[in-house]
Amino acid sequence: MKYKRMVLKLSGETLAGNDSSGITVDGLKTVSREIKAVWRTKAQIVVVIGAGNLWRGAGKSIDRVTADHMGMLATVMNALALKDALLAEGVAAAVLSAVDVPGFVARYSRDAAEAFLASGGVVICAGGTGNPFFTTDTTAALRAAELNADVLLKATQVDGVYTADPKKNVGAKKYTTLSFDDAIKKQLKIMDMAAFSLCRENGVPVIVFDFHKSGNFAKVVSGCSMGTLIR
C-alpha cells in the first residue's frame, strides 16, 4: 500500500445511504465494508466524520455557537453508529471525542489515538475540534497533521475537483493535480481555508475522490491514480 497511515474525511451524508438524511443500515454497511477492505491491509485509518445528515447549522432562532455545539454532538452520534457497524464487520474501532461526553465516548488525545492505531484499530474522531467556528474539514486537517498522516483523503460523491460543478456544467474540466496555492487562488470549494492552511503548512497532501464507487477507497490507498491530488 502506498499510504500506511491516513485520515479519511467522511461527510455525515455518507451514512444516510440513498436517503437524504439520517443514518441507514445500508449506509453503515457500505461505509464499514469499504473501510474493512483497507483495514485488512494493516493500514492505519483515522476517520473524521461530519454531521450533515443530522444537523445543518444555525437557523434564525439558533446562534452560531449553539448550532456548532449541536453539530459536534451530532458527529458523536454518527461516530457511535459507525463504530458499531465496524465492530459488526470484525473491525476493531474506537470513538475519541474532542468534547467531553462522559459515559458515551472517550476523550480524544494524540497519545490515545496513537496507542489504538498501534494496536491495529480504526480511530473515529468525533466532536470536531472541540470549538465552534471550525468545520470537520479543519478537524481532519488538524488530526492529519498531529498524527503525522501520510495523506488526507476527502471522500466525496464526485471523482475529483473540477473547474465547475460537473453536475451542472457539462464543460467542467477535472484537475488531476493542484497546488494548495492554486486551489486557494482559484477559490475552489474543496475544503475551507483553515483546513487548506493546516495541510499546506504541515506538508499533508490531500486527495479528493469518489468514495461512493465500491473499491475506490482501497484503490486510492494503494496508489492508483484517481481523483485530484492537492499538494
* Look-up of cell digits 464507487: 213
Interatomic CA distance for residues 6 and 43, integer angstroms: 8
* Range in 22-26, 32-36, 54-58 with the lowest mean pLDDT: 54-58
- The reported pLDDT for the residue numbered 166 is 81
pLDDT of residue 82: 98
Counted domains in the chain: 1
pLDDT above 80 (res 1):
no
pLDDT band at 42 (very low <50, low <70, confident <90, very high): very high
Write the CATH number for 12: 3.40.1160.10
- 54: containing domain: 5-230
Half-sphere exposure for 52 (CA within 13 Å, toward CB): 17
Range 202-231 burial, b when 16+ CB lie within 10 A, else e: eebbbbbbbbeeeebbbbbbeeeebbbbbe
Q: What is the pLDDT of residues 46-103, one digit of tens each?
A: 999 999 999 988 777 899 999 999 999 999 999 999 999 999 999 999 999 999 999 9
Does residue 96 contact residue 125 with C-beta atoms inside 8 Å?
yes
pLDDT at 169 over 90: no
SS3 142: helix
